[in-house]
Structure 1
Amino acid sequence: MKWKGLLCAACLLAGVSGIQAAPESDYQHQALTKDMLPVFYPALKQQMTYPMSWLSGHFRNFDQWRHEARKQLRQALLTPDSHVDFQPEVLDTIDRGSYVGYQLAFNLTDESRVSALMLVPKTKGRHAAAILLHDHGAKFDIGKEKMIKPWGDEQKLASAQAWSDKFFTGRFVGDEMAKLGYVVIAVDALGWGDRGPMAYEKQQALASNFFNLGRSLAGNMAYEDMRAFDFLASRPEVDPERVAIVGFSMGSYRAWQLAALRPQAAATVADSWMGTYEGLMTPGNNVLRGQSAYYMMHPGLPQLMDFPDIAGIAAPKPMLVFNGGQDKLFPHAAVEQAYQKLHQIWRSQHAENHLVTKVWPKLGHVFYKAQQLEAFDWLKQWVHPELVQQQVSSEH
């Protein structure tokens, strides 16, 4: 009788307050999807209106927008400026015919002194140059060695050659560019090569520890790329007005991000990483898995700008963006949506001839020889005009 009285009282209160019992089927028992998205994620995606996008219509002056957007991007890195001198040191050299390979050590930031691989043509004077940004690939034993052929370590050489065979038609992008007369440099991102050891399942812990330290893993990588660019541009062998950015896969993301952060870059080649948040944040996509995604995740930034909006901060500087039509990581619709946004931005500055976007229908997540040759041919008009002159002379 006592419990019955309590239940009646509860019913009376519910009736007075207007609360009515709902059928059990109306309650939301499942709070997360199998991709670890909250079930209300579609509502959150609708709130991603990108108010800092040049395409939002909120801005009239492109220069002012670009200044403010770059400032917002820089702040999102959660990384203060470094002031330590680079203090480079040559650790080893190798003669490769028309160019020389250097293994260097230098102060990348106030906290990190790193090793790097640099190739320098033997010709005199200041050269066009390129910073080479390596991929992720869940392969951590090599980083810079994915872009420049290593020496002095047979195990790393074998690993790098196998990677090159799989993704680059057996070629090393850095060595191919050095043969063309470029100074090139490659540095390990944190977790790769000499800056490991990293394991796939440990990335999330590393990212959370950066957050615990008031920093960001993605921001750390982005800022280190900025410093590596500055180091290359400071070299006596390099013409600072002709420094390009070249990246593959995660390195492609790093490439157009660096172009946005460093307006001094002369031109950018980005292969196999471009899409929109709308198109990539879909069930089953890599960006929803955590782990590797943390290298490209700046807290709060998606509320301000889409991926192509960030790349668009580099406009109207020359940029080439490739994607593979068979690349399962980047759905065709997401790529095309991003390309449309990019062209809108460059077109608004009457510089659409400075932007090249291309989907290679039969290729996947690769940077094969044909793509490299097309990219190098495009790049030389912006940073290596003497190659254009040599070609014209040879044709006549």
Structure 2
Amino acid sequence: MRELFGRRAFVAGATAAALTHGASGPARAAAAELVDGNLPDFHPALKDRLRFPLAWGTSPVRDFGSWRRTARAKVEEHLLVERQHRTPYAPEFTAGPQGEGYTRESVTLSLTSYERVRGLLLTPHGTGPFPAVLLLHDHGARFDIGKEKLVRPWYDDTRLASARAWADKYFSGRFVGDELARRGYVVLCLDALGWGDRGPLTYEQQQALASNFYNLGSSLAGLMAREDARAARFLAGLDRVDARRVAALGFSMGAYRAWQTAALSDDIAAAASVCWMTGLKEMMVPGNNTLRGQSSYYMLHPGLPRFLDFPDVAGIAAPRPMLFFSGALDTLFPADGVRVAHDKLRAVWRSRHAEERLHLRTWPDLGHVFVDRMQDEVFRWLDSVL
């Protein structure tokens, strides 16, 4: 039996009993196929059971306002992290050097009752209140920098070197937050747990961290969702910000965070998500990065797929303005999944007679990036909706 377990991760049920009694030939060969690329061999049957019965259009709830409340409550139930709306932010601001047309500050605040979190806050010169953007960083398996991926750090040369390399790789050398501040937006960007001042985590530690959250009756992904919604409320409540004009923006995992925050928070008036939207079943295919676990735990709410797909959750934000970009060459999100998701999103906004508020685009020559021409289109879109 030893050679069977060298390649496969588990044996269960009747097959295990057969091995115990010395089965050979076909029985032994079948046992070796119980796991298929991190998926159980019966995963098609599990996928077939995912019908997303709470999705808009499928749900028995026909009034859209009632559906939104029901769907949001179902998402919040699966976050496993209680709301923290009574925890005082108690912000502490520290001035940084002047930028080109904007001021820099670091801000430390309590997004939850568990710990203080440090973020970066940029404010345009001039007289407010200003529109604002909650800027949400990506994953990228790069943990020494989080908020610094999007806002140029002025306080640490080592992080600045890492941040420049990241910007060169994914953002055409730009710091997206600084670009937004120059255009007249207040920008807030904070570290998620594991990155920057709240890390650095290592890639191999993610799964253990997530499982320990579950053992504690909590959730890593749920914590991030709650923190992002709290950050949106904090930003909207600043005197310098026009609370009616606050957007969420992110790339990759940050894109997931952007549409999720729009679904969970009425403080977000619009959201732009670059390179993270798909149908779950279309993403759960052999070879997809999601099947490796690890980073997926930041976007995994146990049990929620029994009720809602990813675009169904994003649809809770309708009919507010939403932008979704994808790259046709992005191997993380198969084209079938993007197509399914976009079709679902169109149906929701169309049902609200607001299809013009939904901006969907797949860039045929691009992969998993947020390059300058994509940024410029997002900036113009933000200007138009805010």
TM-score under structure 1 length normalisation: 0.89
Secondary structure at 2:162 match in 1: helix
Aligned residue number for residue 45 of structure 1:
47
Aligned to 2:20: none
- Structure 1 unaligned blocks of 5 or more: 1-21, 384-396
Partners of 1:224 and 1:343 lie apart in 2 by 28
Runs of 4+ in 1 over 3 A off after TM superposition: 22-28
Deviation at 1:26, TM superposition (A): 6.6
Q: Verify: 1:120 aligned to 2:145, yes or no.
A: no
Residue 268 of structure 2: aligned partner: 265
State yes or no: 1:165 paired with 2:168.
Answer: yes
- Alignment of 1:98 with 2:118, yes or no, is no
Match of 1:153 among 152, 156, 168: 156
Compute the displacement of 1:23 (Å).
10
Q: Show the counterpart of 2:134.
A: 131
Whole-Å Cα distance in 2 between the matches of residues 196 and 119 of structure 1? 23
| Mapped pair 1:78 → 2:80 | yes
CA offsets per residue over residues 44-89 of structure 1, 9 Å max, x none?
Answer: 1000000110131523111111110001111111111222211111
Question: How far apart, CA to CA, are the structure 2 residues paired with 1:177 and 1:91?
Answer: 21
Q: Distance in 2 between matches of 1:201 and 1:35?
A: 18
Please give the alpha-carbon distance, in whole angstroms, between the structure 1 residues aligned to 2:109 and 2:311. 32
Out of 281, 289, 293, the residue aligned to residue 292 of structure 2 is 289
- C-alpha displacement of 1:25: 3.3
How much has 1:280 moved relative to structure 2? 0.2
Cα distance in 1, alignment partners of residues 382 and 374 from structure 2? 12
Give the match's secondary structure for 1:236.
coil
Tell me what 2:26 maps to.
25
Q: Distance in 1 between matches of 2:50 and 2:133?
A: 35
SS at match of 1:104: strand
Q: 1:31 to 1:263 in 2, by over 3 A?
A: farther
Counterparts of 1:180 and 1:91, CA distance in 2: 23
Alignment partner, residue 145 of structure 2 = 142
Please say if 1:381 is aligned against 2:384. Answer: yes
AA partner of residue 25 (structure 1): P
Instruction: Output the amino acid matched with 2:287.
Output: G
Tell me the residue number matched to 2:71.
Answer: 69
Alignment of 1:360-379 (within 5 A): 360-379=363-382
Measured in 1, the distance between the counterparts of 2:83 and 2:225 equals: 12
CA distance in 2, matches of 1:40, 1:85: 48
Q: How many angstroms does 1:246 deviate by? A: 0.2
2:197: which partner in 1? 194
> 1:357 and 2:360 equivalent?
yes
Per-residue deviation, residues 113-132 of structure 1 (Å, max 9, x unmatched):
01100100111121100100
- TM-score between the two structures when normalised by the length of structure 2: 0.91
Between the aligned partners of 1:214 and 1:192, the Cα distance in structure 2 is 23
The 1-side partners of 2:34 and 2:130 are apart by 54
Asked whether the equivalents of residues 328 and 364 of structure 1 are also in contact (C-alpha less than 8 Å), the reply is yes
8 Å Cα contact 2:232-2:267 kept in structure 1: no
Which residue of the partner structure matches residue 19 of structure 2? none
What aligned pairs does 1:306-385 form with structure 2 within 5 A after superposition? Answer: 306-383=309-386
Deviations 1:202-222 (A, max 9, x none): 000000110011000100111
Structure 2 equivalent of residue 15 of structure 1: none
- Alpha-carbon distance, 1:186 to partner: 0.3
Letter in 2 for 1:253: Y
Aligned twin of 1:388: none
